[in-house]
Amino acid sequence: MISFLSPQEVIEKLFNHMVEGYDRDTYPAIDVVYQFFFSVEGEVLPYFIEVKEGEAAAKKGKHPKPTVTISTPLRVWLDIANGSLNPIWGLITRRYTLKGGIRYLRLMPKLFRVEREISELTHILEGEADEGKTAWRKPARILLLQGAPRAQEGFTEFYIDPFLKGISSTGAVVEKVYLAKQKIKPCRGCFSCWTDTPGKCVQRDDMEELLKRLEEADLIIYAFPLYADSTPGILKNVLERQIPRVYPYMKPYKNLTRHPRRHLKRQYIFIFAICGFPEKRHFDPVLEMFRAHARNLHAPLIGAILRPGAMAFYLDPTQYFNLVHVHDALKEAGRQLVERGRVNKKLLRTISRTYGQKAIWQKNANIFWYNEQRKDQRS
């Protein structure tokens, strides 16, 4: 279990960061000792950092000949360290005391800094996939991940079929992967793919090959039924296991923070989802999740086909011709997606529309499930 750090552990962690950030290239010959007396919870904790002969070391205790002595509440120095308190202003306002030359205080941010480490990551942090508004190019590789637990037997397959026929009519080739037939474990949260084996998950299962296909695809289509306001578990595993596709480093993006992607290429994401309830609003949570997923994978979400009330729409014989109409619309949507990179709004409304009266829909659904329950009980 993760526990709170003690004040001593906090100090040691802080000093380790300072030692690691020592800029020996700029200051190889400086000799200086920073002695600290931290006060916390009625106790005074002595620590010092010594820089000598191009090496920096942090130790607990008192140095016999410190260059600078700083006596400070631990809270005050942590505020200085995290940038919320200017060290000179803190000294002027007597938040802490200093014995020795103030020039050494001014030198600290330069002497112990991390810019040297960050400069080595410039090519990673500045690299960016092409996410701007550019002319649409017909995707050469389309990967469809079908996330329904029942694979070909469910309603996801029924509705996705005409959509794929529309895609095929353009000459495009789609690789379809039934996730229910794959062995994909949940992410362990070990971060080995960022540290021990960069870019590679330590778990050996079908996700290893799927990651390669995800990187190669120009267009990724996620198809799934809504489960508990989100995706089925197997698809959620796939989303989480894509962490190896990004670096652990942080970079700004439109007032947010995200990770740089390892392999930069122009790539797009499209969503195809169905649900049992008749209202389209039930897709809102999962759409927001995929917007974040697309943003963090540097692959714009270019659209979504949403079919609410999918099961009841199929089972209601009075909706037969409306169902045929929707199937035709799905085929046209597939064609438009490949050729234009989008599906027009009128077509999307046709596909997502709730046909018939909602009250009648709800009543019929209740009758259906009541009869199904009695049927199972009799058998």
Looking at residue 300, its pLDDT comes to 94
Which alpha helices (H) appear in the chain, and where do they start and end? 7-20, 74-81, 87-92, 102-111, 115-119, 122-126, 155-168, 207-216, 233-240, 284-296, 310-315, 320-340, 345-352, 358-378
Q: Is 286 exposed, middle or buried (0-12, 13-18, 19+ CB in 10 A)?
A: buried
Looking at residue 118, its pLDDT comes to 66
Residue 158 sits in a domain of what CATH number? 3.40.50.360
Residue 148 and residue 107 share a domain: no
Q: Within a domain: residue 280?
A: yes
Give the strand pairing for 251-253 and 256-258: antiparallel
Residue 53 and residue 143 share a domain: no
Looking at residue 204, its pLDDT comes to 94
Q: 66, 83, 115: which is the final residue of a domain?
A: 115
Residue 211 and residue 144 share a domain: yes
Which ranges of the chain have pLDDT less than 50?
none
Looking at residue 125, its pLDDT comes to 80
Looking at residue 362, its pLDDT comes to 85
Question: CA angle at residue 226 from 224 to 229, to 5 degrees?
Answer: 140
Q: Within a domain: residue 16?
A: yes
Q: Within a domain: residue 373?
A: no
Looking at residue 130, its pLDDT comes to 57
Residue-wise pLDDT for 84-130, tens only, equals 999 999 999 999 999 998 999 999 999 987 555 566 777 788 776 55
Looking at residue 253, its pLDDT comes to 87
Q: Within a domain: residue 128?
A: no
Looking at residue 117, its pLDDT comes to 56
Q: Within a domain: residue 126?
A: no
Looking at residue 316, its pLDDT comes to 87
Q: Within a domain: residue 1?
A: no
Residue 312 and residue 229 share a domain: yes
Looking at residue 318, its pLDDT comes to 87
Domain of 151 in residue numbering reads as 138-362
Residue 171 and residue 109 share a domain: no
Work out how many domains the chain is built from and give that number.
2
| Separation of alpha carbons 331 and 61, rounded Å | 75
Residue 81 sits in a domain of what CATH number? 3.30.1050.10
Residue 153 and residue 285 share a domain: yes
Residue 150 and residue 60 share a domain: no
Residue 241 and residue 293 share a domain: yes
In residues, how long is the chain? 379
Looking at residue 134, its pLDDT comes to 73
